[in-house]
Amino acid sequence: MSEKLSIAVDVMGGDYGPRITLPACINQLKKNPHLTLYLVGDQSVFGPYTETLSTALKSRLHIVPTTSVVSMEDKPSFALRHRRESSMFKALELVKNNQASACVSGGNTGALMALGCHVLGRLSGIDRPAIISAIPTNKSHAYLLDLGANVNCSADQLLQFALMGSAMVSAVEGNSSPRTALLNIGIEDIKGNDQVRQAASLIQAQQQLNYVGFIEGDEVFNGRAEVVVCDGFTGNIALKSNEGLARLIAGKLKQSFNRNLYRRILGLLAQPVLKELQQQIDPGRRNGASLLGLQGIVIKSHGSASSRHFEAAIEQAILDSKLNIPARIAEKLIHQ
């Protein structure tokens, strides 16, 4: 990273709050000499993590004290009315006021989406923002959206997701024509509900989209498409199922290699291969889902992310900022 960049971090968000977010922030400051972080949260939590930092690091770290936190139980409507002094709200305001290029939070997803729409506003032509993240495939990875922001979606909104996902993947991957598919219960034209079938017609009519048709759940991981579109209910289940399966495979392998002395020796010999496999399927490696459709960059981290995985969310914010993803999406929407 060669240009200066500022990121706002909601350090109070997530299941573990500052004990995860603050070490991740400090590590990112050490890695990226051109990065400045706005750490937003309860001022009393910062001391143990920041007091011993060098003067050079402290100069790129700005503490923004707040008096409130959005809890994981807060409904979006409650957060809008009663959490305007929260770390999440204030971090979004820093993006709105152009003090920060992006906001990163591991907090309540519904509240983050609602506050993001309220503070930053939606891009013209977008009804509802969508959450997108990379998932592993046998070739590399694909991008799945929506991952939970919108439980029910119209055909028009699925088209918007396809346009936003294609624009992001074009920018991030340098792929001018990413293959785009609709997640469905079959590949035949008659399969699926009315919204999905109508969306297929709308997406197919878009010449700027490289639409490859319906895709089933087992095909998502074979690399047939770089962008996979679905409603948030389906996408969230698909993502969580993928993450659960990855943990199951890792656990089963560990049990198998620890069954007896002979297998433990085999495990030691296979360790380089197992480590590579673990890295490839580790969900946290791709932590940091982008909220597409807002007039600003917002990255959602897993609430249960480790410090190392929260760093990945900050790295996603850096990448989206460098590529100016909202502007890329706006340009795509103009030409639809």
Q: Are residues 50 and 160 in the same domain?
A: no
Q: Which residues of 47-77 are buried (b: 16+ CB within 10 A; e: fewer)?
A: eebbeeeeeeeeebbbbbebebbbeeebebe
Burial class (CB in 10 A: 0-12, 13-18, 19+), 110: middle
Residue 286 falls inside a structural domain: no
CA 229-151-325 angle, to 5 degrees, is 50
* Mean predicted lDDT score pLDDT of the chain: 89
Treating both helix axes as pointing N-terminal to C-terminal, what angle do 307-323 and 155-173 enclose, rounded to 10 degrees?
90
Does position 127 have pLDDT exceeding 80, yes or no?
yes
pLDDT value at 301 more than 60:
yes
Q: Is the pLDDT of residue 61 over 90?
A: yes
Do 299 and 331 lie in a common domain? Answer: yes
Residues 45 and 96 occupy one common structural domain: yes
Please report, rounded to a whole number, the percentage of residues in the chain having pLDDT higher than 90. 63
CATH of residue 213's domain is: 3.40.718.10
| Structural domain for 22, as ranges | 1-126+293-336
Q: Which residues face 62 on adjacent strands?
A: 38
Residue 2 has pLDDT above 60, yes or no: no
Do 140 and 110 lie in one domain? The reply is no
Q: Is the pLDDT of residue 221 over 50?
A: yes
Residue 319: which pLDDT band, with cuts at 50, 70 and 90?
very high
Query: In this structure, is residue 32 part of a structural domain?
Result: yes
Between these two residues, 286 and 294, which has the higher pLDDT value?
A: 294
- Which one of 221-225, 268-272, 291-295, 305-309 scores highest in mean pLDDT? 291-295
pLDDT > 50? residue 231: yes
**240 plus 307 within the same structural domain:** no
Q: Do 197 and 245 fall into the same domain? A: yes
Predicted pLDDT at 196: 93
Give me the phi and psi of 4, to 5 degrees please.
Answer: -70, 140
State whether 222 and 330 are in the same domain: no
pLDDT band of 246, cuts 50, 70, 90: confident
Q: How far apart are alpha carbons 325 and 221 in whole angstroms?
A: 25
pLDDT tens column, 62-83: 999 999 999 999 999 999 999 9
The pLDDT tens digits of the residues spanning 108-120 come to 999 999 999 999 9
Question: What integer pLDDT is reported at residue 141 of this predicted model?
Answer: 85
The last residue of one of the domains, among 248, 280, 312, is 280
**pLDDT level of residue 1 (50, 70, 90 thresholds):** very low
Asked whether residue 124 carries a pLDDT value surpassing 80, the answer given is yes
Our count of domains for the chain comes to 2
Query: Tokens 């296979």 belong to which residue?
Result: 270
- pLDDT tens per residue across span 162-206: 999 999 999 988 888 999 999 999 989 888 899 999 999 999 999
**pTM recorded for the entire structure:** 0.88
Q: Cis ω on the peptide bond leading into residue 218 (within 30° of 0)?
A: no
Q: Do 240 and 210 fall into the same domain? A: yes
Residue 301 lies in a domain: yes
Q: Kindly state whether residues 31 and 110 are assigned to the same domain.
A: yes
Which of 258-272, 278-292, 307-321, 322-336 is modeled with the greatest confidence? Answer: 307-321
